[in-house]
Amino acid sequence: MVRYRRTMEAQLIEVPKPPRRHTFADVVALGDAVHAELIEDEVVIQAAPDIAHGGAAGQVAYEVIGPFQRGRGGPGGWWILAEVDVLLGDDVVRPDLLGFK
């Protein structure tokens, strides 16, 4: 059995271990309503952010988008995205905020 860990809570969800390594498809199969990441072949399910976390992430995005994405007092030309799945080798992570150019 593989243990799916819920951060922010002490609950564990046990599911049968597939006969292969977990992949991005396993994360996608959980659906959009589940905030899941794949880290070192472990599917990590995280609780939804609370209001304070969402407010803080929104404020950081607001401060970063002007100069970095729109070029208002900064370099511009960046893409700033929130809560997107990022493939890093075999891992799938979902940062609060992502910037790339």
How far is it, in rounded angstroms, from Cα 75 to Cα 52?
29
Res 1 pLDDT > 70: no
Q: What is the pLDDT of residues 30-76, one digit of tens each?
A: 888 888 899 988 888 888 888 999 999 999 999 999 999 999 999 99
Residues 4 and 37: beta-carbon distance below 8 Å:
no
**Residue 99 φ/ψ, nearest 5 degrees:** -130, 135
This prediction's pTM: 0.69
Res 27 pLDDT > 60: yes
Res 10 pLDDT > 70: no
pLDDT of residue 13: 58
Res 97 pLDDT > 70: yes
What is the 3-class SS of 42-97, one letter each residue? EEEEECCCCHHHHHHHHHHHHHHHHHHHCCCCCCCCCEEEECCCEEECCEEECCCE
Residues 85 and 94: beta-carbon distance below 8 Å:
yes
